[in-house]
A and B are shown apart, each in its own frame.
Chain A
Amino acid sequence: MNEISDWTLIGKSVPRREDAYLLRGQGKYLDDLPVPQNTMHLGFVCSPYAHAKIAGVDASRAKALPGVIDVLTGADFSDDILPFAPDIQIDGYRRVERLVIAVDKVRFVGEYVAVILADSPYIAQDAIELVDVDYDPLPAVSGIEEALKGDAPVLFDSLGDNMVFESHFETEGFEEQFDSADLVLEEEFRLGRVTGLPIEPRGCLAVIDEVADTYTLWTPTQIPHQVRTAIADHLQMPESSVRVVTPVVGGGFGTKCHVFPDELVAVALVRRYRRAVKWVQDRREQLLSDPHAREHLHRIKVAVNRDGVIQAIKLNLMTNSGAYANYPFSCTLEATGAARMLPGPYRIRNYKYDVVSALTNTCPTGAYRGTGQPSCFLAMEGMMDRIGRTLDIDPADVRRRNVVNPDQFPYVNVVGVRYDTGSYLQSLDRVVELSGYDEFRARQPRDRLIDGKYRGIGICNYTEVSGTGAPGWRVRGFAKMPGFDSARVVVEPDGRASVFLSQADAGQGHLTAFAQVAADRLGLEYADVRVFEGDTAKTPFGTGTFASRGSVVGGGSIIRCCDKLIAKIKRIAGVILQADPADLVLGGGCVHRAGAPGNSLTMEQVAETAYSMNNIPLPEGEDHGLEATDYYDPPMVTLANGTHIAQVAVDPDDGRIEIENYTLVHDCGRVINPMIVKGQIHGGTVQGIGEALMEEIVYDSDGQHLNANLLDYVIPLAMDIPDMRIDHIETPSIDTVGGIKGTGECGVTGAVPAIANAVCDALAGIGVNIRSVPLRPSFILEQIENARREAAG
């Protein structure tokens, strides 16, 4: 089944069908949907305090405003909506509950305290200003280390402290191995707090169908089926009474693969008032309360021998959970992710990690493109460079000496993850060549003289976890994460095909790429296949689109489903053509005997028989219709890989960093559409550049969010982005259906460490040690200044 040859559409840069309507402004996003008459518009009153008791809510002034239908507080939902409390079954996890609207206590700035129902969104906004909430402020804590101190304010009295998750792993005989190496290097790496920031903020529209007694929630989510399950669970209603539909989605990046309080509130209100409910988030609310990510602190010790080969790694990782466990990923996603992914493409056999996640009075953290990977590779790849500098070995060579070699696949890494195939050494060698790495090294000492700027080069050689299946989720404690996805493929009576997939596109080009897969498999023209997603009423159940799983699991389930359907097509055609079905092949929209295309049936003719629209009877025992449904639960994880090289110039006068050369080589196995893959890499790398050089959500020590606006939360603009030179290696997976590996997160995963390493390389000569991101000009200037002061004694 995995041997897929003679593809004609897969591997082609078919132009995206989505662009025809997206580029013309014809995409219908949530806020473009027509709303029923009498729709109620929501507005959420958000806490200005990071930690406070709610002494009372006086909504009388708001209720008096004409156009306000009602103002509800948390107590009004206590019978309707169960609190969020993700079911994570892993040692060291402590369950905490989150109410959709706070009742007695708020724990972060931006937490919902009350909800306005109004005739228009404008009135709802005005009414927010008229709700008087009486808060009794409590001491708050925002930093990870501070939160774990004995005297820190405690968020949940029931826990007694702020430790919400801890996890430990140690290989046999670890300490002995660690102690016997030639030397030990240690370092501390920090990542700032960032967020996905899709250009389209979130929102939802809930409508009631009185006839069918169902509720439809339109929401720009990456996980429609999981949203439906969560609504049914938390509102205690039949799953069959809820339909979740995604309109066109303006970017997800992991931010939109959570289930949110506002979605539950909207459905609870449509159920209560029997009127449609709409809510659209604004940019400030997005920055305040959409899931944040990263804010990790790695303390890493690497035991290494004089030849640069790593003998053992000891990792101490702290992550900031924020005030609650997000749903469905909770506070363990980043913590288990970063620690388990850290060995990456290297032959690490002795590994120990201790991970903690702390509750703080900040917005809950969750999934964002890359999850733990930009973080763990900042640490791992940072250590590779430090080994090189300490032992006077070129950093590229340090990596070559530690990488899993081509003859070692399949390889099972130290935490039990199987690497079926990969091109770890090849991608490193190729990017070194393409980027002119060796030539840069040769001229690096001279280059500084040109214009007074410090120049450096940085590498990130990474693996990318993709297409996680059920076993991969279970091992990390996610008891309710399905892991599989599903496809229903229908050859319609006209012989053209429709594909219904359990996933949800958020801009990745699924309607194009998956049509390529299905058309190729069914031997149809690309134009004759249409793909439908993002509607729980139309598509079979599945996990959704996140964590670089779309192509692996979506592609795999379509291939499996097509194969099931092809068997039926061949059985029907075999009877008509009087041929053994095993001798039949599909291609050019027809079914014929292999090597004898002259005597063929069109797909339409087969379909006519299947749908009883001609005089040819169905073969005995065959059911009517021409469709199949199949499911694909991929392996634990499928590892893509690649190598980024960034070359930067640091201006010591203003602290600005310019990326002068950016080259990367990338391997995501079988490529469905190279143009789309390239787009994923571009977009991810841009987010990585943002995370490395400018983006950071800042909280003060009292948990006040200091930059919930786009003037102060700085994201990269077109002018900040260098030309990227991208090359592909195609090493198909031998474990996944179709040989596909995921690609959504490689850009950010490679970019953050490569840029940080390049800046560190540029400034190492003057005694500056770069071990955190973002690297904003003010920070760089301060580091240079400190180093100069220290050098001056």
Chain B
Amino acid sequence: MILEGKYRIPIERQAVWEALVDPVALKACIPGCKSFMEKAENEYAAEIHTSIGPINSSFTVNITLSDIKPPESYRIIGQGKGAGAAGFASGQATIELIEDGTETELHYTADTKVGGKLAQVGSRLIETAAQKLAGRFFSNFARHLAPDSVTTATGDGTVPAWLWWAAIVTGGALVLVYWLYA
């Protein structure tokens, strides 16, 4: 399954880049993320608990960042393995940041594979499950950064900086979520 998308973010590229490589926020906001550890430089290990259809399992995920060209692009390679017979998910995503004045356009292309029980009984559900998880990630993230405020600023053109920061990390996380679950 190949997933593609892009986001337009009205802050400068360097700031976006820095947010994209910060694991702390990711851990707090990925639904079911129990741990997110840096194993070595550009290598992370995460444990994520999730349920897709009838499968309710913990996934151990190894993440490697490669082809890092700050602040332009990098490649994430991930291997997720479900506990026991739950199956596996693996994939890679290329994330590219294109500078446009003081704004940035984030492009991602993710190629993912699922296997085992996840594919056998969950393949019909994967896409909607990924969307649901992404939605939960957004709301988690808003709460994470502004616990007292669940309102979303819209329309008046003065968007709080924290919200853009949230959007950036969310964009990265969305990709992560997609190739973990899709």
Q: Is the CB of B84 within 8 A of A48?
A: no
The residue in B86, B88, B115 that gathers the most chain A C-beta atoms within 10 A of its C-beta is B115
Q: Is the CB of A708 within 8 A of B120?
A: yes
Q: Is the CB of B83 within 8 A of A129?
A: yes
Residues of chain B within 8 A of A288, CB atoms compared: 120
Please tell me which one of the listed residues B85, B88, B123 contacts residue A706 in the complex, with CB atoms under 8 A apart: B123
Residues of chain A within 8 A of B87, CB atoms compared: 48
Residues of chain A within 8 A of B116, CB atoms compared: 48-49, 109, 704
Interface residues in B73-89 by Cβ distance below 8 A to A read 83-88
**When each residue 657-682 of chain A gets 1 if its CB lies under 8 Å from chain B and 0 otherwise, what string results?**
00000000000000000000000000
Query: Is residue A46 contacting chain B, with contact meaning CB distance below 8 A?
Result: yes
Q: Tell me whether A704 and B124 are in contact in the complex, defined as CB-CB below 8 angstroms, given that A48-B85, A48-B87 are known contacts.
A: no
Task: State which size class the interface on B falls in.
Answer: 10 to 19
Residues of chain B within 8 A of A706, CB atoms compared: 119-120, 123
Residues of chain B within 8 A of A161, CB atoms compared: none
Q: Is the CB of A128 within 8 A of B115?
A: no
Residues of chain B within 8 A of A705, CB atoms compared: 119-120
Q: Tell me whether A712 and B123 are in contact in the complex, defined as CB-CB below 8 angstroms, given that A128-B84, A130-B84, A131-B84 are known contacts.
A: yes
Residues of chain B within 8 A of A731, CB atoms compared: none
**When each residue 681-722 of chain A gets 1 if its CB lies under 8 Å from chain B and 0 otherwise, what string results?**
000000000000000000010101111110110000000000
Q: Tell me whether A700 and B119 are in contact in the complex, defined as CB-CB below 8 angstroms, given that A45-B85, A48-B85, A129-B83 are known contacts.
A: yes
Q: How far is the CA of A709 from the CA of B113 in the complex (A)?
A: 19
Query: Is residue A284 contacting chain B, with contact meaning CB distance below 8 A?
Result: yes
Nearest 10 CB-CB pairs, A to B?
A48-B116, A129-B84, A708-B120, A704-B119, A706-B123, A709-B121, A704-B115, A48-B87, A48-B115, A705-B120
**Which residue of chain A lies nearest to B120 when distances are taken between CB atoms in the complex?**
A708
**When each residue 98-139 of chain B gets 1 if its CB lies under 8 Å from chain A and 0 otherwise, what string results?**
000000000000000111110111011000000000000000
Q: Is the CB of B115 within 8 A of A284?
A: no
Binding site for A on B (CB under 8 A): 83-88, 113-117, 119-121, 123-124
Q: Is the CB of B120 within 8 A of A709?
A: yes
Minimum distance in angstroms from A280 CB to a CB of chain B: 17
Interface residues in A1-52 by Cβ distance below 8 A to B read 45-46, 48-50
Minimum distance in angstroms from A662 CB to a CB of chain B: 31
Task: State which size class the interface on A falls in.
Answer: 20 to 34
Q: Is the CB of B83 within 8 A of A712?
A: no
Q: Is the CB of A702 within 8 A of B113?
A: yes
Residues of chain A within 8 A of B121, CB atoms compared: 284, 708-709, 712
Q: Tell me whether A707 and B115 are in contact in the complex, defined as CB-CB below 8 angstroms, given that A45-B85, A128-B85, A129-B84 are known contacts.
A: no
Beyond the given A109-B115, A702-B113, A707-B123, please list 6 additional residue pairs across the A-B interface where CB-CB is below 8 A: A48-B85, A131-B84, A702-B115, A704-B119, A707-B120, A707-B124
Q: How far is the CA of A707 from the CA of B119 in the complex (A)?
A: 7
**When each residue 38-71 of chain A gets 1 if its CB lies under 8 Å from chain B and 0 otherwise, what string results?**
0000000110111000000000000000000000
Q: Tell me whether A48 and B124 are in contact in the complex, defined as CB-CB below 8 angstroms, given that A129-B85, A131-B84 are known contacts.
A: no
**Which residue of chain A lies nearest to B87 when distances are taken between CB atoms in the complex?**
A48
**Which residue of chain A lies nearest to B117 when distances are taken between CB atoms in the complex?**
A48
Q: How far is the CA of A58 from the CA of B52 in the complex (A)?
A: 26
Interface residues in A86-139 by Cβ distance below 8 A to B read 109, 128-131
**Which residue of chain A lies nearest to B79 when distances are taken between CB atoms in the complex?**
A137
Residues of chain B within 8 A of A46, CB atoms compared: 85
**Which residue of chain B lies nearest to A128 when distances are taken between CB atoms in the complex?**
B85
27 contacts across the A-B interface (CB closer than 8 A): A46-B85, A48-B85, A48-B115, A48-B116, A50-B115, A109-B115, A109-B120, A128-B84, A129-B85, A129-B86, A130-B84, A131-B84, A284-B120, A284-B121, A288-B120, A704-B113, A704-B114, A704-B116, A705-B119, A705-B120, A706-B119, A707-B123, A708-B120, A709-B120, A709-B121, A711-B124, A712-B121
The residue in A46, A48, A129, A708 that gathers the most chain B C-beta atoms within 10 A of its C-beta is A48
Q: How far is the CA of A131 from the CA of B81 in the complex (A)?
A: 13
**Which residue of chain B lies nearest to A48 when distances are taken between CB atoms in the complex?**
B116
Residues of chain B within 8 A of A131, CB atoms compared: 84
Q: How far is the CA of A130 from the CA of B57 in the complex (A)?
A: 12
The residue in B83, B85, B86 that gathers the most chain A C-beta atoms within 10 A of its C-beta is B85
Residues of chain A within 8 A of B114, CB atoms compared: 704
**Which residue of chain B lies nearest to A709 when distances are taken between CB atoms in the complex?**
B121
**When each residue 259-271 of chain A gets 1 if its CB lies under 8 Å from chain B and 0 otherwise, what string results?**
0000000000000
Q: How far is the CA of A50 from the CA of B115 in the complex (A)?
A: 9
Q: How far is the CA of A128 from the CA of B85 in the complex (A)?
A: 7
Residues of chain A within 8 A of B123, CB atoms compared: 704, 706-707, 712
Residues of chain A within 8 A of B83, CB atoms compared: 129
Q: How far is the CA of A49 from the CA of B89 in the complex (A)?
A: 11
Minimum distance in angstroms from B129 CB to a CB of chain A: 15
Minimum distance in angstroms from A225 CB to a CB of chain B: 34
**Which residue of chain A lies nearest to B113 when distances are taken between CB atoms in the complex?**
A702
Minimum distance in angstroms from A125 CB to a CB of chain B: 9
Q: How far is the CA of A49 from the CA of B83 in the complex (A)?
A: 15
Residues of chain B within 8 A of A48, CB atoms compared: 85, 87-88, 115-117
Residues of chain A within 8 A of B85, CB atoms compared: 45-46, 48, 128-129
Minimum distance in angstroms from A704 CB to a CB of chain B: 4
Q: Is the CB of A49 within 8 A of B115?
A: yes
Q: How far is the CA of A128 from the CA of B123 in the complex (A)?
A: 22
